[in-house]
Each structure stands twice: as C-alpha cells, then as structure tokens.
Amino acid sequence: MQRTLAARLLLLAASLISTATAVQQPFDATPRITFTSAAESHGVADFTGQQVVRFTTASHAQHQALLQRAHALGLDVWAAHRGSACSTSPDAHVYGCVDVRLASEDGAERDWMAQLMQPFPQHKRPHAQTMIEDVQQLVAAQRSEVDEEEEEEVEAMREDKWHRDYHTFDEITAYMRMLEHSYPTHAQLVQLGTTHEGRPILGLKISDDLPVPTPDPQPEPQPDPPANTTASARGKLGIVVTGGQHAREWVSTSSALYFASDLLAAALGVPSNSSSPVEVARRGKKRARKVWSKKQARLMLSSFSITVVPVSNPDGYVYSWDKNRMWRKNRQPNHFPSGLFCKGVDVNRNYDYGFASSSNACSEMYSGSAPFTSAEARAIATYVEDARNGVVGFFDLHSYGQLMMYPFSADCALQPADEEDLLEASLGAIKAVKAVDGKAFTAGKICEVYAVAGGNAVDWAYAASKDTQGQQKAKVKWSFSIELRDGGTYGFLLPKKQIVPAASETSAALAYILSFIQKKSF
C-alpha cells in the first residue's frame, strides 16, 4: 500500500510539473527539453553537440519576448545584455543580445530553434549567431592539464602558476588556510555560515595588525570560526568581495582568490617558507604586469578590512565539478510538488530587495519561496549588515559580459542617490582594466546594461532599509556587480590560459575603486 501511494504521489508531481511548464507547440514538433536544474542523474552531465547561440534584438519588446519564450521552453539563458554591452554584434542597430544554450539531443537542434523563433514573424526574427559549437568540448578543455607547449608563451605568468588552473572546493579551502598561515597578522579565515549540505561558507579577512589567534593546547573540538574580528572596530572601512554565487561561474571564484593573494604578496612579499605554494607560484624569469605597488598595497591594508569570499555557493560549486558543469543554483531541496525533482535556489535572486517569488523550481533563476531562504544569501547578508564589520563597499563578481555595474537591478526607474560617485568610480575602473590587457568593459546601471531582476545582492546591500532580522540596516554606498571575461566566445567556460589575465583585470578594477573610496573617506 505504501509503495502504491508513493508511486501515485510521484505521478501526481510529474503531472503537475508538466502542466506548469507546458507550452503550446505545433503538431509536428518534438522538442526534448532537458532542464539543467532537473538533471539529478548519478552520472556526470554530458553536453556533447549542444550549442550556445546569440540572438541580437532590435527592440525592448522583442528582447523581452525572446527571454520569455526561452524561459517558457526551459532553455538555459546564459546571458541577456543590453545596449553597448552588445557592441560586438554584427547588427548595426542593436537593443540587446541574449545567449541561449540549445540542447541538441539526436539532431533536435532545428526543433529547438523553430520553437524558440515561433512567436516571431519570419521577417522580424532576432539575428542568430552561433557562439559555441559544442559545449562539451569546452567543458573537457577546462578539465585538461595546462598545455605544456604553451609554457614559453606564459613564462611571464609563471609567478601565478597556482592561479593558472581551476581548483576544487577542497583545494581552495586549503589555499586559503595556507594564506592565513603564511600571513598570520594580515590574513584570517572567517566562517560566514553553513550550507544546506553542511559545507562552510568561508571568507579570508585581510588587513594589517589582525590579532593573532592563540592556539589552545587542549586537543578539544573548537567552535566555528567567528563571523567577525575586531579589525573594523579599530576604525577601518569594511569591504566584502564575493565570487561564485552562481556555481558555474568559475572564473569569478578564481579572480576573487587571486585578488586576495596578489594584494598580500604585493604588500608583504611571498612567504619565507620555500615549500609554500605561494613561493612556488611566484617563481619565474619575468614578472607579470603589476597591479599594486608596495606602497599602495600597504595603504589599502591599513585603510580597509577586506573580506574575500571566493566560493559563496559551496554546494553548487562542488556539484558543478562533480556532476553538472552548467549548474547555477545552490543545492537545497524545494517544496513539494514542483520542487520534488528540481533542487536549488538562485542565490543572487534571494535577497530581500525587489524580491519576487516564483513557482517554477526547475528554473535556473528560481528565486525561492521567500527572501533569504537560501543559507548562502542569508550568511552573506548577515555578515554585510553586522555593524562590527563596518562594511562600506560590496563587490559581487560574476561572469560573463565584461560589465562594471552599480544599482539598480530591480527597477530602472530608480536612481541611486550616489550615482555620480558610482559612475565616476566605474569609469575609472574600466579604464584601469583596459590598461591591463586592452579589454573593453562597459559601465552603467545593472538594469540598463544587463537585465532587470529583483532579489539582487547589490541592490540589497545598497538600498535595503531592513536587515535579515527586520532591524534598521545601513546603506552600503559602494556596491558594485562586475561581470568578468569574456564577451561570449567561451561564456562560462573560459579557458585556463585566460584565468590570470581575467583575475588581473579584476584586481586592477578593485585597486582603482578602493583607492577612490580611500581618497573620498580619509
């Protein structure tokens, strides 16, 4: 009887999901939709033959219609940019561009295209350009070893050897602990919270004159690391840099960690221990382009208490390594029935500003049933709002698009009171980025150059009046979202040889804005 009841419940759930996501289709169309969020197989997801296509749109109405159609079909929208952020498009007059991953099982690609274009008359269809021919080829390339034949070409980057590869969550945690051990008065590991699957959400706090923890001689279990230290209480400005809120955006995690390592090394030099990975990472005949001078780096450490959270979504990040490279959300279970087969909440849609709940738990952008239902968003928000951390700046790293953005995301009718300062800092940052390797970034409000979306971390940090406990919250004036490399050629699957250049650009942008804030504040 119990098995029969369970079977009926499963059939009912499947029926409800089918009804909720059904779309009218032509009689002869046989699309086979594969929801990334619904893929819970025991094997590793394979993307062989799947393409990423860029559609350039000519108007707001066409842009929105395309997005709505893609979401209705359950397709994976990689990016939706607007205006000058789509300047590489072949079209002369472009409103925006939307990158969509088309699942192409057994030659069904033409069906996907036909279904996606169905609402548009033949003469008014968005221009389509294939950006990635085979997603699986790029996934495999990210897993491969660094090509030894390229060693001579990257000799100048030998000092960044460790950073020239993507790393697992455990490797990143070990590296953060190594930095803490190597710079005991300038780097401390802090734990912001714990994920649904029990992983720690770790940050590396860097500043000068941090208190050195006294080891306990008793081998007894210790409590979790504190969420705060006293650095900000001594008059320093708090800065938070997050990466990896979206699990598949690996280069944001790599860039956040590179920034912390680069700043410490510039201010203090490499550790004296020759066996340290930092020591090994910084050997070489030539030095890469320097972002920091020693004087500037030390000024930053004396002015700020900077907390870098490279893996803001540990469960999702691990899953993107072990099971599904295209995983975006966290890994918490959702409520019956729509969430029975579809796990996860989009962490960067789960903050309590402009939040809009959604019913489709299978969506890549599922915001959750209520604000702060994700442990990750709640942990980051709690840390940012804690007055003891003195946070005045919040930088949320993502990929891709090469965008330097500030509020608002939820509503373009809203104007940030500090827009003059935010825009000036953004323009200076993209100029600093271009000086690194010639890459052009676009600056502007999130809703103008990227997309309109509620529940965004940057909007919450800047404008939310209440904290996670419903108490008065201070505004974080210097709130930015940075979309890193590239422009769409590789998307989320940026080759390893571009990690250090992308991370150097990130450090250059942060260095400029931190100097800008320092001059405005002291």
Catalytic (active-site) positions? 483
Helical H runs in 304-442? 314-322, 375-385, 419-437
Q: How many helices (H) and strands (E) does the chain have?
A: 14, 12
3-state SS, 195-247, equals: CCCCCEEEEEEECCCCCCCCCCCCCCCCCCCCCCCCCHHHCCEEEEEECCCCC
Closest by Cα among 278, 288, 366 to 21? 366
Closest CA to 335 of 370, 378, 381, 380: 370
The single-letter DSSP state of residue 323 is T
Q: Where does 349-501 show beta strands of DSSP type E?
A: 391-399, 403-406, 442-445, 478-484
Which residue in the block uniquely carries the two structure tokens 């579809």? 342
Distances (CA, A) of 292 to 264, 303, 432: 10, 15, 12
Going by C-alpha positions, the residue among 124, 130, 122 that lies closest to residue 100 is 130
- Tokens 């294939």 belong to residue: 130
Q: How far is 432 from 440, CA to CA, in rounded Å?
A: 10
Sign of CA dihedral 357, 191, 312, 143: negative
How many angstroms separate the CA atoms of 260 and 309, rounded? 10
Which of 150, 160, 183 shows the shortest CA–CA distance to 281? 160
Q: How far is CA 354 from the centre of its chain?
A: 19
For 263-302, the three-class secondary structure string (H helix, E strand, C coil) is: HHHHHHCCCCCCCCHHHHHCCCCCCCCCCCCHHHHHHHHH
Q: Please, are residues 214 and 222 in contact by the beta-carbon 8 Å criterion? A: no
Q: Where are the alpha helices (DSSP H) in 108-191?
A: 109-117, 135-143, 169-182
- Asked whether the beta carbons of 379 and 468 are under 8 A apart, the reply is no
The single residue listed with the structure tokens 């965008």 is: 403
Q: Which helix (H) or strand (E) holds 77?
A: strand 76-82
